[in-house]
């Protein structure tokens, strides 16, 4: 079992690492999902997220996109998996758990720390999840 601290980790890099490890058979737990960063222009990222949510609410059929920070991170990880509904993708997806903050059961355990440096343009997942 690998425990990953998502504090200041770049979302895409974190998602690809977690997906690869889950496909290898590891149980993965991602903590501090609200502190994961998405690099790029803040206004553009916010606009794209709101547009994708608006398509669902305007009477059109489409994907349901959640505002919860842990679900945003888990959806990004899901995008890195091959066919998450069947086969080895589904098995790998079931091995991944995402949490906001650090639950009491994982407080004293050793964590993999990622995201040492911040980029110049970024937005936290918690700012999108408002």
Q: How many CA atoms lie within 13 A of 47 on its CB side?
A: 5
Would you say residue 128 has pLDDT above 90?
no
Domains and CATH numbers, the chain: 2-128 (3.90.1180.10)
Q: Over the stretch 87-101, which tens digit does the pLDDT of each residue have?
A: 999 999 999 999 998
pLDDT value of position 62? 65
- 53-57, 107-111, 118-122: the lowest-pLDDT one: 53-57
The whole-number average pLDDT for the span 10-30 is 93
CA separation, residue 122 to residues 35, 36, 43, 58, 119 (Å):
11, 10, 10, 29, 6
52: how many CB neighbours lie within 10 A of its CB? 12
Q: What is the pTM of this model?
A: 0.85
Q: Ramachandran region of residue 115, left (φ > 0), alpha (ψ -120 to 50) or beta? A: left
């Amino acid at each position: 079992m690998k425990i990953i601290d998502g504090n200041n980790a770049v979302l895409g890099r974190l998602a690809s690492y977690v997906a690869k490890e889950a496909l290898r058979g590891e149980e993965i737990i991602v903590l501090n999902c609200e502190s994961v960063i998405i690099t790029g222009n803040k206004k553009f990222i916010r606009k794209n997220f709101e547009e994708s949510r608006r398509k669902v609410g305007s009477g059109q059929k489409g994907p349901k996109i959640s505002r919860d920070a842990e679900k945003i991170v888990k959806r990004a990880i899901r995008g890195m998996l091959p066919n998450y509904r069947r086969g080895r993708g589904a098995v790998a997806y079931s091995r991944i758990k995402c949490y906001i903050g650090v639950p009491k059961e994982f407080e004293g355990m050793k964590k993999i720390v990622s995201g040492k440096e911040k980029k110049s343009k970024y937005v936290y997942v918690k700012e999108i999840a408002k």
